[in-house]
């Protein structure tokens, strides 16, 4: 997507606030189309759950990918909101659409696929949970098994940061609000990443028997709303700090059904890329 700053006119008071520690009035913030948002002091997050984000790299021409979908769908249901899944179609040979089917390939997903080594390894499906590392390597695995043990290792921990996300449709785009509360002190810089994904997309999908002409694709990554590696979190990282950020998203495509789209937010360590917590919401 286009990461283009769309600045509103600052009032004098806003400019002064930007150079101090005072809270900026909500009517005087920069609107970005897929960039950094604006940060304010907040009231905290009611739900302190630790959640896991599973990123699955997949394709319509991958015959094993439907097996992984069954496993991941069952896991999402069983964890009752503590597991968020996103399905990423990069530009490998397995993702080229059949005929006039919807094209599920995503340029931002392609960047991630190359970064985590999925594209070069040509191993589909591949998944990673919270961008975890094992023996100094990304913990990529084939998600036909091993999902629960990786998710359990994360969701059974106490959260470092509590996170919540809300999204509302407006005439000029989607307003997204991210709330975070530091539950433990974090000394490293953090980023927040926002994704939009869509459920219920019907395509042709390869499988062990040949092709399924009415396969339902869920959790499909449509776009990364922030920069692909996130926007800087304006927070000192001290336990007890409560912050919120507002984003305006204007790049939604007319072919997408926003009634079936979700917004995903996650907080990461800026250096290691490992995910601290995640949250998901529908678009109201």
- Tokens representing 81 are 């909101």
CB atoms within 10 A of CB 10: 15
Q: Looking at residue 17, what is its pLDDT?
A: 36
Query: What span, in angstroms and rounded, lies between the C-alpha atoms of 277 and 269?
Result: 10
Q: Looking at residue 244, what is its pLDDT?
A: 97
Question: Which residue, 206, 225, 202, is CA-closest to 214?
Answer: 202
- Tokens representing 58 are 């997949």
Q: Looking at residue 1, what is its pLDDT?
A: 45
The answer to whether 88 and 106 have CB atoms below 8 angstroms apart is: yes
Which positions of the chain have pLDDT values less than 70?
1-36
Q: Looking at residue 36, what is its pLDDT?
A: 66
Domains annotated on the chain, with CATH: 41-173+180-244+252-282 (3.40.30.10)
Q: Is 257 helix (H, G, I), strand (E, B) or coil?
A: coil
Q: pTM, whole model, 2 decimals?
A: 0.87
Q: Looking at residue 2, what is its pLDDT?
A: 44
The residues facing 45 across adjacent strands are none
């Amino acid at each position: 997507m286009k990461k283009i700053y769309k600045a509103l006119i600052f009032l004098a008071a806003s400019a002064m606030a930007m150079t101090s520690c005072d809270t900026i009035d909500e009517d005087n913030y920069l609107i970005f189309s897929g960039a950094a948002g604006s940060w304010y002091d907040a009231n905290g997050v009611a739900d302190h759950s630790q959640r896991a984000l599973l990123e699955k790299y997949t394709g319509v021409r991958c015959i094993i990918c439907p097996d992984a979908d069954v496993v991941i769908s069952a896991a999402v249901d069983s964890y009752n909101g503590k597991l968020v899944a996103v399905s990423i179609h990069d530009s490998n040979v397995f993702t080229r659409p059949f005929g006039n089917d919807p094209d599920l390939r995503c340029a931002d997903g392609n960047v991630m696929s190359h970064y985590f080594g999925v594209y070069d390894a040509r191993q589909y499906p591949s998944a990673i949970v919270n961008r975890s590392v094992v023996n100094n390597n990304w913990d990529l695995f084939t998600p036909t098994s091993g999902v629960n043990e990786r998710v359990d290792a994360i969701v059974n921990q106490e959260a470092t940061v509590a996170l919540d996300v809300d999204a509302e449709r407006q005439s000029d785009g989607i307003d997204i609000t991210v709330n975070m509360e530091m539950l433990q002190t974090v000394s490293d810089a953090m980023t927040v990443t926002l994704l939009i994904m869509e459920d219920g997309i019907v395509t042709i999908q390869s499988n062990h028997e040949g092709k399924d002409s009415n396969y339902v694709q869920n959790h499909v990554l449509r776009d990364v709303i922030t920069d692909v590696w996130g926007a800087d979190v304006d927070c000192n990282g001290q336990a007890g700090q409560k912050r919120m950020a507002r984003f305006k998203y204007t790049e939604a495509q007319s072919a997408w059904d926003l009634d079936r789209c979700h917004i995903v937010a996650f907080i990461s360590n800026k250096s290691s890329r490992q995910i601290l917590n995640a949250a998901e919401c529908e678009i109201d």
